[in-house]
């Protein structure tokens, strides 16, 4: 049997690989530091797989698991280091520092779960309740959040930046109801079937910044909605009105009918 060739048996070529793998596992079992390093890489790899597996948008998903990422990096800092862990997750060092601050200074009393001592600029519980009350009121139910923010700031109700209003509205899961204008069906009015069949005349009063009042005379074609003639005067005058009609008649190319002479 000892003189038989190993090629006689199926799978003989795996012997060398098995021996190499055995030696590698033996070295890993003897080296405690190497075990800790591999364990740290495994944790980070597992965390990444859990995040990526929940959605295609990686950057959006990775923010949702920022506390888990900080915890994984902190657990592996003694073996692979914080910088290498940050690089493995593909985030910047400044981003990690912000996430780490939020993780270590978590507080159950704050709506954003961040301790007021570390982040004193965040709203107090009283201010959050006031914001929730304003956003939920029927008066402001259809107002945009930015309008509510500036209204509250102007009337000294709650002084906070519009971005803060958006942030806390998202945390409180408040969604503004979009106002939809009711669909009112009006009766069909006067309609022309051809140009210059019917005209509309109107005088609009306009007061300028210097206090002067001007009157805008308009003549508009019913069919095309085209303004056929206009004037601006400082008073309401029949003469100006007649001028606009005369100009409209000339532009339309209409010749007045001549009266027949009676015998």
Task: Grade residue 122 by pLDDT with cuts at 50, 70 and 90.
Answer: low
Sole residue written with tokens 């003989």: 12
96 and 46 together in one domain: yes
Cβ atoms of 44 and 85 within 8 Å: the answer is: yes
| Residues in contact with 105: Cβ distance below 8 Å, sequence separation at least 6, in sequence order | 114, 115, 117, 118, 119
Over residues 71-91, the mean pLDDT reads 81
150 and 81 together in one domain: no
Residue 240, domain member (yes or no): yes
Residue 194, domain member (yes or no): no
DSSP state of 4: S
Domain that holds residue 167: 125-171
Q: Residue 44 pLDDT > 90, yes or no?
A: no
* Three-state SS at 32: helix
100 and 130 together in one domain: no
- Report d(CA 4, CA 10) in Å as an integer: 14
Q: What is the mean pLDDT of the chain?
A: 78
**Cβ atoms < 10 Å from Cβ of 88:** 19
88 and 146 together in one domain: no
> Which of 10 and 45 is assigned the larger pLDDT?
45
Q: Which of 74, 104, 134 is the last residue of a domain?
A: 104
Residue 6, domain member (yes or no): no
98 and 129 together in one domain: no
Over residues 150-162, the mean pLDDT reads 89
* Three-state SS at 201: strand
Residue 8, domain member (yes or no): no
Lowest mean pLDDT among 126-130, 204-208, 227-231, 242-246: 126-130
Q: Pick the most confident of 41-55, 118-132, 180-194, 249-263.
A: 180-194
Q: Residue 81 pLDDT > 50, yes or no?
A: yes
Q: Residue 217 pLDDT > 90, yes or no?
A: yes
Instruction: Quote the pLDDT of residue 188.
Output: 79
Instruction: Quote the pLDDT of residue 46.
Output: 74
Q: Residue 257 pLDDT > 80, yes or no?
A: no
- Report d(CA 68, CA 115) in Å as an integer: 18
129 and 99 together in one domain: no
Task: Grade residue 109 by pLDDT with cuts at 50, 70 and 90.
Answer: very low
Q: Residue 261 pLDDT > 60, yes or no?
A: no
Over residues 99-105, the mean pLDDT reads 70
| Residues in contact with 103: Cβ distance below 8 Å, sequence separation at least 6, in sequence order | 66, 67, 70, 71
Q: How many domains does the chain have?
A: 3
| Residues in contact with 93: Cβ distance below 8 Å, sequence separation at least 6, in sequence order | 83, 86
> Which of 221 and 8 is assigned the larger pLDDT?
221
Task: Report the share of the chain in percent with pLDDT over 90.
Answer: 21
Instruction: Quote the pLDDT of residue 214.
Output: 94
Task: Report the share of the chain in percent with pLDDT over 70.
Answer: 74
Over residues 37-61, the mean pLDDT reads 69
Token reading at 80 = 């692979």
Q: Is 11 left (phi over 0), alpha (psi -120 to 50) or beta?
A: left
Residue 176, domain member (yes or no): no
């Amino acid at each position: 049997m000892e003189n038989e060739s190993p090629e006689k048996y199926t799978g003989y070529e795996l012997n060398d690989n098995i021996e190499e793998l055995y030696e590698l596992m033996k070295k890993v079992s003897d080296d405690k530091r190497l075990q800790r390093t591999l364990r740290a890489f495994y944790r980070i790899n597992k965390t990444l797989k859990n995040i990526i597996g929940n959605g295609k948008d990686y950057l959006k998903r990775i923010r949702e698991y920022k506390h888990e990422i900080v915890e994984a990096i902190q657990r592996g800092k003694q073996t692979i280091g914080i910088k290498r862990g940050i690089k493995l997750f593909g985030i910047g060092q400044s981003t990690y520092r912000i996430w780490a601050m939020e993780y270590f200074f978590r507080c159950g009393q704050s709506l954003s779960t961040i301790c007021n001592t570390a982040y004193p600029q965040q709203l107090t519980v009283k201010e959050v309740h006031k914001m929730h009350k304003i956003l939920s009121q029927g008066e402001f139910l259809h107002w945009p959040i930015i309008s509510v923010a500036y209204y509250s700031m102007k009337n000294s109700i709650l002084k906070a930046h519009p971005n803060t209003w958006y942030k806390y509205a998202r945390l409180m899961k408040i969604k503004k109801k979009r106002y939809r204008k009711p669909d009112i069906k009006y009766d069909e009015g006067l309609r022309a079937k051809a140009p210059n069949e019917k005209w509309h005349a109107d005088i609009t009063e306009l007061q300028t910044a210097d206090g002067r009042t001007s009157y805008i005379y308009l003549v508009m074609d019913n069919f095309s909605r085209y303004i056929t003639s206009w004037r601006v005067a400082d008073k309401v005058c029949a003469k100006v009105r007649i001028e606009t009609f005369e100009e409209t008649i000339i532009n339309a190319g209409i010749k007045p009918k001549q009266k027949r002479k009676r015998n």
